[in-house]
Chain A
Amino acid sequence: MSTLSYAGTTVDVDAEGFLTDPQQWNEEIAAEIAAENGIDQLTDRHWLVINFMRDTYLESGSAPSIRTLGKASGVPIKELYQLFPKGPAKLAAKIAGIPKPRGCI
């Protein structure tokens, strides 16, 4: 386990930079992770996805699939890919401060 520093806070991360403890997360950290991954400005639409990812993970213990994101987050799949071009589920999980989703679908 290694650590990274975001917004003046030190957080525990895995080898790919996903936070391993969602409790260490805050919105400033999210903004810095987003900027690091090519998203300079987190819009309301980004936040809708990020908060849905976090809520789902904290409630169920696993991140939602893209299918579930598309159906239940309020953001359709096409837009998910526009908001998070590097891959919506994984990048949104990273920004949301939850562990990397390991689903194939």
Chain B
Amino acid sequence: MDEQISKVSVIISKGSLEGVYPGLIMANGARMEGIEANLFFTFFGLDAINKAKHEHVKVSTVGNPGLHLATWAGGIPGVSALVTHKLAAEMEKLDIPPIPEFVEMIAESGAGLYACKASVDLFGLGEDDFIDEVDEVITVGEFYGLAAGGQIIFT
């Protein structure tokens, strides 16, 4: 217990529900322990801070063996929405907030929220596309600068 982590920088690179939550939980959990935290959203992970999309992040039901659902069944229209809905209900029971509320909570906890410049350019996005809590669009080099002296977690 003597050695403690004092800073973490969490990268969220996936746009599925199960791709976004682990990074949010790691960042929020860090703040809960008084650990400094940064969140860096890249590629489809940007959906978690995209105003138009953050309420519509879904469980990936195709090519997700963990669901133990036949691939053809996972591809039926509406199945992803249904699984997402059921999971969201279970999460609410455990007091796990929906993604938009969770991201806001993490921002309020003092964590830094950043969007990856390369992905923002690739998708033709601008700062206006993101929720107000996002601090800045930064380059990977700037991210390393922010992460210096701490641990980096890629999800």
Binding site for B on A (CB under 8 A): 65-68, 70, 76-78, 81, 85-91, 103-105
Whether B32 pairs with A90 at a CB distance below 8 angstroms is: yes
Whether A90 pairs with B33 at a CB distance below 8 angstroms is: yes
Whether B109 pairs with A77 at a CB distance below 8 angstroms is: yes
User: How would residues 95 to 111 of chain B score, 1 for a CB under 8 Å from any chain A CB and 0 otherwise?
Assistant: 11100010001001110
Task: Give how many A-B residue pairs fall within 8 Å (CB-CB).
Answer: 45
CB-defined contacts of B76 to chain A, threshold 8 Å: none
Question: What is the CB-to-nearest-CB distance from A69 to chain B, in angstroms, rounded to a whole number?
Answer: 11
New A-B contacts (17) at CB < 8 Å, excluding given A66-B105, A81-B108 = A65-B95, A66-B28, A67-B101, A67-B105, A70-B108, A77-B109, A78-B109, A85-B34, A86-B33, A86-B34, A87-B31, A87-B34, A89-B32, A90-B33, A103-B95, A105-B29, A105-B96
Whether A104 pairs with B29 at a CB distance below 8 angstroms is: yes
Whether A105 pairs with B109 at a CB distance below 8 angstroms is: no
CB-defined contacts of A85 to chain B, threshold 8 Å: 34
Q: How far is the CA of A66 from the CA of B44 in the complex (A)?
A: 28
The answer to the question of B122 belonging to the interface, with a C-beta cut-off of 8 Å to chain A, is no
Contact of A105 among B25, B108, B110 (CB under 8 A): B25
For the complex of A and B, the 8 pairs showing the least CB-CB separation, nearest first, are: A86-B34, A77-B108, A87-B34, A78-B108, A65-B95, A87-B33, A87-B32, A81-B109
Q: Known contacts A77-B105, A77-B108; is A67 also within 8 Å of B97 by CB?
A: yes
Binding site for A on B (CB under 8 A): 25, 28-29, 31-34, 94-97, 101, 105, 108-110
Question: What is the CB-to-nearest-CB distance from A62 to chain B, in angstroms, rounded to a whole number?
Answer: 10
27 contacts between A and B (CB under 8 A): A65-B95, A66-B109, A67-B95, A68-B95, A70-B108, A77-B105, A78-B108, A78-B109, A78-B110, A81-B31, A81-B108, A81-B109, A81-B110, A85-B34, A86-B33, A87-B32, A87-B33, A87-B34, A88-B32, A89-B32, A103-B95, A104-B25, A105-B28, A105-B29, A105-B95, A105-B96, A105-B97
CB-defined contacts of B105 to chain A, threshold 8 Å: 66-67, 70, 77
In chain B, what residue has the closest Cβ to A68? B95
Question: What is the CB-to-nearest-CB distance from A36 to chain B, in angstroms, rounded to a whole number?
Answer: 15
CB-defined contacts of A103 to chain B, threshold 8 Å: 95
In chain A, what residue has the closest Cβ to B91? A105
Question: What is the CB-to-nearest-CB distance from A82 to chain B, in angstroms, rounded to a whole number?
Answer: 8
Q: How far is the CA of A74 from the CA of B10 in the complex (A)?
A: 30
